Amino acid sequence: MRRLERADATLSISKWMRSLWSANASDRPSPFPTLTNSILGLTAAGAIYISITSEPGALGILGASLALVMLAIAVIDWRSFIIPDALNAAGAILGIIYAIAQKPDAMLQTAALAASRGGLIALIFFALRYSYARLRGRQGLGLGDVKLAFVAGVWLDWLLIPIAIQMAAFAALSAYLLRQFISGQSISAANRMPFGLFFAPAIWVCWVLQVRWLDGF
């Protein structure tokens, strides 16, 4: 009897993991919605706590707001392969406010520098998107990812931007390989993977590293 219960539990967990990594996650509700929501709630609470303790005061609140926006982007992109413009805009506006709050005596200069940095990173992503489409005949990056790159540029210093990109790329590749292994499917360059699911959290993680490490020098 216990063996049957263990087998049923193993099958249920396997089914849940497949639903998490399915390319059509939006079409398959999780068999454990309460567990999934609990994980998201704990993740949000933990991110808020880390943000506020990393940067006390108004700057920490802005960082916590970034965490919530990035979490929302990750979840939506995971479920629908779409990054809403409203969330990208919210992340960018919060970033501009954050930059101004850091140096209120040079508001225009600080805001312009953050926006220029974001624009350059977005332009690089757009060039990669265009080049990939020309070479392969299909899109590799969505416009939502390009706009998310703008958010990364607004929030992060030059040193942390490539770290966030590499962190997201490594996580996306690892998750893709794990998904293919769990589902038993072969590896193919045509398979889709929501990059925002990994890039958005990486932006917040690198912001925390920036606050705790880079700003200390």
Q: Which of 1-5, 96-100, 171-175 is predicted with the least confidence, judged by mean pLDDT?
A: 1-5
Of the pLDDT bands very low, low, confident and very high (cuts 50, 70, 90), residue 215 is: low
pLDDT at 216: 55
Write the CB contacts of 8 (distance below 8 Å, at least 6 apart in sequence).
none
Write the CB contacts of 169 (distance below 8 Å, at least 6 apart in sequence).
198
Which one, of 217, 186, 178, 190, lies nearest residue 20 by Cα?
A: 178
Structure-block tokens of residue 136: 């392969």
SS3 217: coil
| Residues 116/158, Cβ–Cβ less than 8 Å | no
Residue whose pair of structure tokens reads 């059509």 in the numeric block: 24
Structure-block tokens of residue 177: 């390989």
Share of the chain above pLDDT 90, in %: 64
pLDDT of 140 above 90: no
Mean local confidence (pLDDT), 189-202: 86
Share of the chain above pLDDT 70, in %: 81
Mean per-residue pLDDT over the chain, rounded: 85
Structure-block tokens of residue 204: 């917040």
pLDDT at 30: 52
Amino acid type, 103: K
pLDDT digit string, tens, across residues 37-78: 889 999 999 999 999 999 989 999 999 999 999 999 999 999
- The CA-atom distances, in angstroms, between 197 and each of 2, 4, 82, 153, 204 are 38, 36, 10, 17, 12
Which one, of 27, 72, 24, lies nearest residue 191 by Cα?
A: 24
- Distance between CA 133 and CA 35 in Å, rounded? 38
Mean local confidence (pLDDT), 187-206: 87
Of the pLDDT bands very low, low, confident and very high (cuts 50, 70, 90), residue 189 is: low
pLDDT digit string, tens, across residues 85-100: 999 999 999 999 999 9
